[in-house]
Amino acid sequence: MKLFYAPGACSLSPHIVLRELDLPFELEAVDLKTKTTASGADFTTINPKGYVPALQLNDGEVLTEGAAIVQYLADKHAPGTLAPLAGTVERARLNGHLNFISAELHKAFGPLFNPALAPEAREAALANLGRKLDVVDRALSDNRPYLTGPDFTVADAYLFVVLSWTPHLGVDLARWPRLDAFSRRAVARTAVQAAMAAEGLPKAA
């Protein structure tokens, strides 16, 4: 398998999952501005959407969309571990977390990556992001260290990645102590450390 990624982007989530599952895979970086891979290929011929992640399987099939990729990996290679079995209520809850992170939380970070964002627009974006973070913070508790309970899942990998953007965007997780503690737990995992090192990222959430 080959994972097409950009350092620190949402492709870090399937990268972490690949390492959690101890699977053999290759990495190839993508320049998202030029849509060119490290080997010089036109990335849009691999993923016409033009963004990461994309996972090329051994038979040449290419999967896109991080939430779909991580579920495929978990179901294919370790059923019932990083994701509850399909058809269960537990799996539906996991899908709920994945969908919220993808459609609401990830999206809420988007405007903050724009350096030309006007001050009033930035304040509005921060307020919107704060409401989304409130929701996820409430999903955690002292008795629930990860989103669905005591065990790390593919949803936690995705949550960790989006939270890792907060220091670079001027968002202080101290306002959300459960999320802050979650990030510290997640970044201490061996697979997370290895994925971040491979992407040249500092080992801190």
**For residue 96, is pLDDT > 60?**
yes
- What topology is assigned to 2-80+193-198 in CATH? Glutaredoxin (3.40.30)
**pLDDT score of 46:** 98
Confidence of residue 202 (pLDDT cuts 50, 70, 90): confident
Candidates 95, 87, 92, 78; CA nearest to 21 is 78
Angle at the Cα of 8 (from 199 to 104), degrees rounded to 5? Answer: 155
- What topology is assigned to 89-189 in CATH? Glutathione S-transferase Yfyf (Class Pi); Chain A, domain 2 (1.20.1050)
Each residue's pLDDT tens digit, 111-160:
999 999 999 999 999 999 999 999 999 999 878 899 999 999 999 999 99
Region 28-39: what's the mean pLDDT?
A: 98
Confidence of residue 205 (pLDDT cuts 50, 70, 90): very low
CA distance 173 to 169: 11
**For residue 45, is pLDDT > 50?**
yes
**For residue 191, is pLDDT > 80?**
yes
**pLDDT score of 170:** 93
String of DSSP letters for the chain: -EEEE-TTSTTHHHHHHHHHTT---EEEEEETTTTEETTS-BGGGT-TT--S-EEE-TTS-EEESHHHHHHHHHHHHSTTTSSPPTTSHHHHHHHHHHHHIIIIIIHHHGGGG-TT--HHHHHHHHHHHHHHHHHHHHH-BTTBSBTTBSS--HHHHHHHHHHTTGGGGT--GGGSHHHHHHHHHHHTSHHHHHHHHHTT--S--
The domain limits of the chain are: 2-80+193-198, 89-189
**pLDDT score of 142:** 77
For helices 89-100 and 66-77, angle between their N-to-C axes, nearest 10 degrees = 150
Each residue's pLDDT tens digit, 58-82:
999 999 999 999 999 999 999 999 9
**pLDDT score of 141:** 84
Per the model's pLDDT, the better-predicted residue between 142 and 1 turns out to be 1
Beta bridge partners of 2: 26, 56
**For residue 4, is pLDDT > 80?**
yes
**For residue 35, is pLDDT > 50?**
yes
Sheet holding 54-56, edge to edge: 36-37, 26-31, 2-5, 54-56, 62-64
**Minimum mean pLDDT range among 11-15, 79-83, 143-147, 185-189:** 143-147
